[in-house]
Chain A
Amino acid sequence: MATDALARLRAAAGRLLAVVDETLARHGAPEHHPIWPLLRAAGLLPGDAVAGVEALPLEVLRQRSALMRAHHERGSGVDDLLAAPSGWEGAAADAAAARLESARAGVGVLAANAGVLADLLADLAAWGAEARTRLARTLAKVLTSAEAVDLTVEEVEPIARAQAAADIGAEVLAEADRFWAGAQEIVRVRLARLESEPVVKRAAPEATTPGRLAVEL
């Protein structure tokens, strides 16, 4: 993983996030605090949520996008290979042309969907890069907050520590939530563009006349 702002701040914020997680686990959060719906949505404590965002492999997403783009382009080469021969006539030629057309339709959908997946993965990588920067800014903000001081000074009362942990946790979880909400939207919009696979009809074999040149195409 590249050492971008999030990677650097994650290292710096690691101890604070560990204290936030530990405090929330030990003391909970004040009733009706905005962190509660965020905790339920993520199913994670703030430190783990940051780790989850950081773990999304952006470079791999870019590589897979390039692979899907290559599949999209290879589809047109395959399409050329499946073109029906010109100048052929007769029932067998018609049957062969129909089967070639059916295969071309399948390859066309395969190629089109590879293009959709290429776009999805590229969008997700771009969104992930932006979202990492925003999460890094959030971490920078909470690191220098008064709540961070409350969590590092031992004399602070447990109730005030729980409040501070919940405030920091809510900010971090809200950004992680925004990250995944954006990712889910990209996936939803792009996957809706996938084409359905054409149904391949298998012709019933015809009886062949002895001596007739016939493999049913």
Chain B
Amino acid sequence: MKKVGKPVFFIIVLLIAAMGYLTVAGVTTVYGDSTTRAIKGIDDVRWGIDIRGGVDVTFSPPEGVTATAEEMDAAESIIQVRLVSQNITDSEVYTDHDKNRIIVRFPWKADETEFNPEQAIAELGAMANLTFREGANIGPDGKPAGDTLNKLVLEGKDIESATAVYSTASSASTPEYGVELKLKESGKQKFAEATGRLIGQPISIWMDETLISAPTVRNQINDGIAQITGQFTSQEATDLANKINAGALPFALVTENYNTISPTLGAGAKDAMMMAGAIAFAVVAAIMLVCYRLPGLVAIIALAGQVILMIASITGFFSVFPSFTLTLPGIAGIILAIGFGVDANIITAERIKEELANGRSLDSAVDSGFKRAFSAILDGNVTVIIVAIILMGSFGPPDSLFARILSPLFFMFGTSAAGTIYSFGYTLLIGVLLNLLMGVLASRLMLKSISRQSWARNPALYGGKN
């Protein structure tokens, strides 16, 4: 192995320190009036609902009702619309088509004082009230106003189906995405009358009191089949079709499976766990310093780097990795990684000690210590990676990478609602991966660099004899 330059140690320490500062503080750029969060800091961590309180609920159709995949998609879109209309933007919604379940998780808003989980759940699962209304007169509160409030054209029960289509409308020359609307007998007459009267004017479509679309009537529609177009993307057309279908859904969703936690319950636990993390770090650092001196010091710096990078991969520091919800078990995973992270350094330091005892020179002892320790470190870490992947696959949302990989194994089981453990699997995984980076690579560079400084040439600093 090539020699490592003397300044490398200090460069790595500086890099870790800089990274640490950025991870904690984040970077905010101010350009004129607009403030942009360029790099997310520790304040941007998305805490799990076990910490800041919230709701975790599984909706399903009532017993005896067999819902189709389209109906489940429609039901999911009702929930999505309602979450947004209640100003809950930080929600997770997963639909499990095999088991006909919809899992919804959302935290309480930071400024929420009146929290009422029972009501929130009941509102999300209630039957959708879909209406087509005359005009598009929207009041200042976003609700229908004036004529739009009073004059109904159609209701959810008048709708047969809505489908996203890609076709050429009679009035256009190129094909585009749109929604094809089919009406039941009860709706045909009403729609024909209204479209005949309102040519050139909009008819607005509402779910509950939220506007979802306001197409303009082009011509009278007598046969109960209408096209809604408007430069939609494929996704937008599907969304709109789902929302309209939701209004025609013949059932309300029921819940027999939910979890709610008040915002005060978890806040103290979070602070306690943060403190536990700091104490654990101090304890581990003291043990390393006492047992291994110089390699121990290197291990502490590497461990600090590892923890900083772990935090960075949770806050969404690197924009390629989205921010990750951190739960109490997730914090426990970080602390576990603090205890376990020095393992690579321990194995290596022990090897260096042995090589020194065998009469090797300092440089060759350091060199071969790292070389011979590597196979054990790698094999040991691979087993933890396997475990972490299984944890994430079995407890994670159905659309996550590892859940998809493991889906052949879990095909007969539904999606599980254990987001708290998923977070633990994630911190365990990044802990191990970063351990290979910091505990092996960075530690090797630092130790080789520092061992060339004249004051650090004494083998006693490495556990050997003078």
A and B held together in a complex? no
Q: A residues engaging B (CB < 8 A)?
A: none
Q: B residues engaging A (CB < 8 A)?
A: none
